[in-house]
A and B are shown apart, each in its own frame.
Chain A
Amino acid sequence: GDSVTQTEGQVTVSESKSLIINCTYSATSIGYPNLFWYVRYPGEGLQLLLKVITAGQKGSSRGFEATYNKEATSFHLQKASVQESDSAVYYCALSETNSNNRIFFGDGTQLVVKP
């Protein structure tokens, strides 16, 4: 079945340093799934950070970027220079291009940015 894998449960980065959070996926449908990054700030619900629906394209938002790599089945999240306010839990997610509208989430990666 479909699945999303985030290998790091927590990532700690010093402020102004670069960040990468890994995400790989497995999709069973013949078409290309839609890929998402959601973020949950402390005390809040999840919200969409960025979304890419076409293989090979890059999504970006708030200084974060992720490229839809169909060959590697990856959708890693990157930022060149993190801020303390980026501390949050980041979830990679996938939705299939079929009729049941299911959305599959990774386990989430807690980002801690040290001042």
Chain B
Amino acid sequence: EAAVTQSPRNKVTVTGGNVTLSCRQTNSHNYMYWYRQDTGHGLRLIHYSYGAGNLQIGDVPDGYKATRTTQEDFFLLLELASPSQTSLYFCASSERQNTLYFGEGSRLIVV
């Protein structure tokens, strides 16, 4: 069965702090995504990638960097975290236009 694993599951950091969220998929999918989910906004796409070394900008990229180091691993980087980035973050993988497989989410609180 498809598997997407996120870490950490929960993180608290201070304003200006540096945070890395990790995502690993064992599905052999080419596409990987980072979303944030906030009440009243649904899922908003931050960055996505269609292969190792590739990065595409999503709808809400400001304040976020991402890197796809291998087909399996996709990282989301917050280099100067702000309270507005407090959110629930989901990673997902897919093949072209097919079902998204999500991780269980990473809850980030920036104080």
Specify which chain A residues have a CB less than 8 angstroms from the CB of B40 in the assembled complex: 9, 107
Near B by CB (< 8 A), chain A positions 87-102 give 91, 93, 95-97, 100-102
Chain A contact patch, size range: 20 to 34
Place the interface of chain B in its size category: 20 to 34
| Interface majority SS (helix, strand, loop, mixed), chain B | strand
- The residue among B45, B50, B102, B103 with the most chain A CB atoms within 10 A of its own CB is B102
With beta carbons under 8 angstroms apart, the residue of A43, A45, A101, A108 that contacts B97 is A101
Q: Considering the chains assembled together, what is the distance between the CA atoms of A37 and B82 in angstroms?
A: 32
Q: Does A47 contact B (CB under 8 A)?
A: yes
Query: Which residues of A are at the interface with B, using a C-beta cutoff of 8 A?
Result: 6, 9, 34, 36, 38, 43-48, 51, 91, 93, 95-97, 100-103, 105-108
Q: What is the bound-complex CA distance between A51 and B48, given in angstroms?
A: 22
Contact B90 A46 (CB under 8 A): yes
